[in-house]
Structure 1
Amino acid sequence: MKSVNQLLASAHNLPAVETVQAVPVSAETTAVVNALFRKLRGIFPAWRQAWPSTEALNAAKEEWIQGFAAQGIRSLEQIEFGIQNCRKAQKPFAPSVGEFIAMCRPGPECLGMPSAMEAWIEVLMGTYSHEGVHLAARATGLFDLRGARPDDKGLRQRFDRHYAVILLRAQAGRPMEAVIQIDQKRRKTELQRADEHADRQVQARMIQQGIPADGAQARELLMATLGKRNIS
């Protein structure tokens, strides 16, 4: 019979599932979760408070699989990181699925990234200690950040939101550049809407002032106006 460490070492990543419903559970996923719960029972002596019976334990495993899929916990590295944090916690009671998921996500310092406050100071100074900070600045808007005040709450909230998304992607081992691509598409749509609104305003003013929308007619009107001025 394989040990817990062997199971964790031989199993592949958990399935990449975007929704909580109808999560496929493979034999490998089952082995990983069973191994995880055996480790948790070894770490937390009061684990029976959370899982007092076999039925409760099995129900918890199903709930944790759903939670992992919904929150992007898909790799053995993430689970192992959570186990390490459980050992550091030095608590008798087992964590909930939400608490364990939080433990699976390394903080920015573990990824070589600054905290949100430190990152905000960096973008105001125009210096970036990590590519993730630069990407968050680009997503926020380099022009807007240029000359921004430290107490600009709206801009700070916008930057924090982008930086949080980039941090989550880094924690999940996903490419951070996708945040820029998504934001650029969103901004392009906003600019298109702004241009369309400006065009409608110009057309409305032209109608109010009796200016023809057709180029040739507008030229004739201009020439006629200039001719009248020359005669007078």
Structure 2
Amino acid sequence: MDLVFDALGQLFGHKFSSQWGSYDADGAWLAELSHLSRRHLELGISRLRQQVRESARSGDEAWPPQPVAFAALCEPRPEDLGLPAVAEAWREAAGHAHDPAGHRWRHEAVRLAGAAVGWWEITHVQPSRVERLERRFAREYTALINRVMAGEDLTPRQLLEHDGSRSAAELAERAGREAAAQKAEADGLPHAMNADQGLRSLRAALGRNGS
């Protein structure tokens, strides 16, 4: 906490020290910032310094933030690390989910977040569930951003879903869905159908052929 208290004391002087003193006596700051690395804290201080400058230019008075507000300033945005914004990353992942191996990704974090959600899931999602899938992608992508911010290498770990972690039944179900989708396309069924719709249509067609 010394880094934070020294920086905020310099930026706000008596406004900060009169409220919080020279150290985190009651642990309020530690409670909000304990999960953050030094790089996160430096990012928050940098943003806060910029806010103070902007206030000075506009003639407004700057006041020190509460611990929870400062913690929010410490959270990295993708742009801070040279990564595409979340919305851009999702569009890239959704647009190339059909051939992730053949695409040159803007950043490895985008590919890893897409893989964590599942390429098959992205390409076969029903329209009513797109928003939910996008939120899941955003969570995975944000977790990767924080790992980059903490200086970690981007490796799959638990974020990614490997076939080795699936049960035999799950693998068989996925294979069946993929086969149904391919058969539906080969039989001229509407391309916009998802695998479930294609499977139902195929069953109906087989029933008609057998009658």
Give yes or no for TM over 0.5. Answer: yes
1:54-97: CA deviations, max 9, x gaps? Answer: 6xx5425x33234333x2x232x332222111111126222222
1:155 aligns with 2:133: yes
* Shift, 1:112, TM fit: 1.1
Give 5+ residue unaligned stretches, structure 2. 53-60, 97-102, 174-211
Report whether the alignment pairs 1:191 with 2:167: yes
Could you say what secondary structure the match of 2:63 adopts? Answer: coil
Equivalence for 1:164: 142
Show the counterpart of 2:25.
59
Residues 44/193 of structure 1: CA separation in 2 closer, same or farther (3 Å cut): farther
Cα distance between partner residues in 2 of 1:150 and 1:122: 18
Partners of 2:109 and 2:4 lie apart in 1 by 31
8 Å CA contact 1:124, 1:150 repeated in 2: no
Superimposed CA distance per residue, residues 6-26 of structure 1 (whole angstroms, 9 cap, x where no aligned partner): xxxxxxxxxxxxxxxxxxxxx
Q: Is the 8 A contact 1:50 1:93 kept in 2?
A: no
Structure 1 residue 175: Cα displacement: 3.0
User: Could you tell me which residue of structure 1 aligns to residue 90 of structure 2?
Assistant: 120
Question: Alignment partner for residue 129 of structure 1, among 100, 106, 115?
Answer: 106
CA distance in 2 between counterparts of 1:59 and 1:66 reads 12
**TM-score, reference length from structure 2:** 0.60
SS at 2:167's partner residue? helix
Which has the greater radius of gyration? 1
- What is the aligned-residue RMSD (CA, Å)? 3.1
Matches of 2:19 and 2:152 in 1, distance apart? 32
What is aligned with 1:78?
Answer: 40
Q: 1:141 to 1:95 in 2, by over 3 A?
A: same
The amino acid of 1:162's aligned partner reads: E
Amino acid at match of 1:47: F
Partner of residue 101 from structure 1, selected from 57, 71, 95:
71
Q: What secondary structure does 2:25 align onto?
A: helix
Bigger Cα displacement from structure 2, 95-104 vs 187-196: 187-196
Q: 1:68 to 1:192 in 2, by over 3 A?
A: farther
Tell me, which stretches of 5 or more residues in structure 1 are unaligned?
1-32, 198-232
The share of aligned pairs that are identical, in percent, is: 26
**What one-letter code is carried by the residue in structure 1 that aligns with 2:121?**
D
Q: Which residue in 1 is equivalent to 2:7? A: 39
Cα distance in 2, alignment partners of residues 66 and 194 from structure 1: 41
Tell me if the contact between 1:124 and 1:148 (Cα under 8 Å) persists in the aligned partners: no
The answer to whether the 8 A contact 2:86-2:141 is kept is yes
Contact 2:112 / 2:160 at 8 angstroms: preserved in 1? no
How far off is 1:131 after superposition? 0.7
The answer for the alignment partner of 1:173 in structure 2 is 151
Q: 2:80 aligns with which of 90, 93, 110?
A: 110
For the 8 Å contact 2:109–2:144, the answer to whether it is kept is yes
Counterpart code for 1:191: S
**SS state at 2:160 partner:** helix
Distance 1:119 1:178 in 2: 18
1:145 correspondence with 2:145: no
Cα offset, 1:176, TM superposition: 2.9
Cα distance in 1, alignment partners of residues 49 and 121 from structure 2 = 44
Give the drift of 1:171: 2.3
Q: How far 1:36 sits from its partner (Å)?
A: 3.0
Cα distance in 1 between the residues matched to 2:171 and 2:110: 30
- Aligned residues, how many? 156
